[in-house]
Each structure stands twice: as structure tokens, then as C-alpha cells.
Amino acid sequence: MSKLYSILIYLSFLGLWITSIVPAEFEILLGFMLIFSFGILHGANDILLINVISNHKKKDSFLKVLIVYLLTVFSAVALFYFIPLVALILFILFSAYHFGEQHWESKVLGVSKTISHTYYFVYGLFLFMLLFIFNTTEVIEVIKAITRYTVNDNTIIYSFAATAYILLFIAVRLFYKSSAFKAIALRESFNLLVFTLIFKVSTLIWGFAIYFILWHSIPSLFEQISFIYGRFSKVNVVSYVKRAFPYWLISLIGMAIVIFVFQEEKLLYAIIFSFIAAVTFPHAIVITKMFKQKKNAIK
């Protein structure tokens, strides 16, 4: 994992360098390309994960979990269609926990589940607020396109301040209660500094893409491959990609049709974020089950 961390830091600064030499339009295009390659790929094997989890846990049959997964996707789509504001809020909350869990689950903090899970959520929410505070105009436009509701600057500013305060409060407590957290506190503070630089100088899409791909999707792929096949290797990476390819291709074809039909930029952003949200809800649940299964296997 230390080698992976070094690669992620290097690629993050490469992303910063790209920001300094290309126009914003190219940043947005490249960001979407990354989101619909690695980003979609990291969630394309949820069905395989469900199968592995259900084999480990007999009471959760594959068919049962698959039905719940598909119902969650369709419910998310319906929610975005009928109550988009509620759907967007739920997407941010679900994604916040999901991002925080992915970032911190492998780091044994040595504290209660309540504290660790709360920290996952607040950390992930802070990342969203950090991205939003440096891209306020774009965020307001996207929210309006999705929900037809106009958010003012103060809402984003106050949300950022409140989240930052809560994160700092929990982090200070963890620093004194957890030796494991104290050991990585400096490195994690440096990570947040890197994220801040990226979000500040990038467009909304490019900043989101750098974090989503480098710091979420790639580590998630590492965790998934290790869970499914027992270890991470080139052979297992190829096997994972082969099995995910049909689902990934179907997703791309579906989005291509949507992009062709809805070519107006603001509406396009709304459709794309809604699509990502629809698959994020069930994916987050599957990954949580995966982490739980890994913990049970260790005990």
C-alpha cells in the first residue's frame, strides 16, 4: 500500500501540472473520460462482489441481494426524477460516508465503531465541502440544473465551516485516543493539503475526477481484487477487468445515448451526476458489506 500511496501522490501532482497547461474545457473533457473509465470500472463488478459475499454468508442469497441492488438503483433513478433535491442530498450523504469509509477502513484506528463510522462520514463530507467551497459558482449551477433550486453562497460557506469544525474536533479526539491515528496524522494532513491545492486550482469536474479516480476508485479496485481473488496481482487485475467489461460497456453505451439526446451543458451535467448517484447508492452498500466480510474473516 505504501507503493500505491507514492504513486497516488505523484499522479496528484501530475494532475495539478495538467491544470496549469491546459484550458478548462480540456480539463472537463479529460475529467469525464477518467470518470467513465476507471470511475465506472471500479463499480462495474458489484454483481461479482455480491456473489462472493453471498457465498460467504449463506443467509444472504445471491438472488436476494441482487434484487435489493437493482431495486436500489431504480429507486435512486425515480427519486432523482420525482424529488431531485432530496435525491441530491442523499447522494452527497451516501457518497460522503462511502468516500470516508474507503479512505479510512484499512487504517485500524482502535476506537469504537460509532466514533470510526462517524469519522468516515464527516471526513467524506468535508471533502465534498472542500471541493464545493473552491468551485461555488459551478456547484450552484449544477445544483440548480438538477433540482431547479438555487443555493446561495452562504449556505456553502456555512456548511464548509461547520463540517471543518466537526472534523477537527473528532480528529483531535482521535489524536489523543488512538496511537494508530497519531502515527498517520501528519501524512493525512498532508493529503488534505494536496486535495486543497487540487480543488482550488482545478475546475469542479477535474478536481472531482482527480480525487474520485486516484484516491477513491484505484484504492477501491485494489481492495476489491484482493477480496475477490485473495490477493492483488496482474493476473487478477486482468481477470477483474474481463469480468467487469460487459457491465462497463453497457454503462458507457447508456451514457453515450444520454449525451447524444441531452447536449445542453447544464442539463448534461445534471444527467451525468444523477447517473453516478444512481449507481453510488447500491455500490456503497455492497462495499460496506465487503469490508464487513473482510473483518469477519480476520476474526
Report the pLDDT value the prediction gives residue 181, as an integer from 0 to 100: 92
Report the pLDDT value the prediction gives residue 52, as an integer from 0 to 100: 79
Report the pLDDT value the prediction gives residue 160, as an integer from 0 to 100: 97
Who contacts 290 (Cβ-Cβ below 8 Å, separation ≥6)? 49, 53, 223, 224, 227
Locate cell 441481494: which residue? 65
Furthest-apart CA atoms within the chain: distance in Å? 54
Report the pLDDT value the prediction gives residue 68, as an integer from 0 to 100: 72
- As to burial, measured by CB atoms within 10 angstroms (0-12 exposed, 13-18 middle, 19+ buried), residue 88 is buried
Report the pLDDT value the prediction gives residue 50, as an integer from 0 to 100: 79
SS3 state at 79: helix
> Could you tell me the residue ranges of all domains in the chain?
2-298
Phi, psi of 36 (to 5 degrees): -90, 5
Burial 162-185 (b: 16+ CB within 10 A, else e): ebeebbeebbeebeeebeebeeee
Neighbours of 238 (CB within 10 A): 10
Cα 142 from Cα 145, distance rounded (Å)? 5
Cα 4 from Cα 39, distance rounded (Å)? 17
Mean pLDDT of 275-282: 75
> Whole-prediction pTM value?
0.89
**Residue type present at position 274:** S
Task: Let me know: does 123 contact 181? Beta carbons within 8 Å.
Answer: no
Q: Residue 172: which pLDDT band, with cuts at 50, 70 and 90?
A: very high
In this predicted model, what pLDDT tens digit does every residue of 213-256 receive, in sequence order?
A: 999 999 999 999 998 888 899 999 999 888 888 878 877 776 67
In this predicted model, what pLDDT tens digit does every residue of 64-74 receive, in sequence order?
A: 666 776 777 77
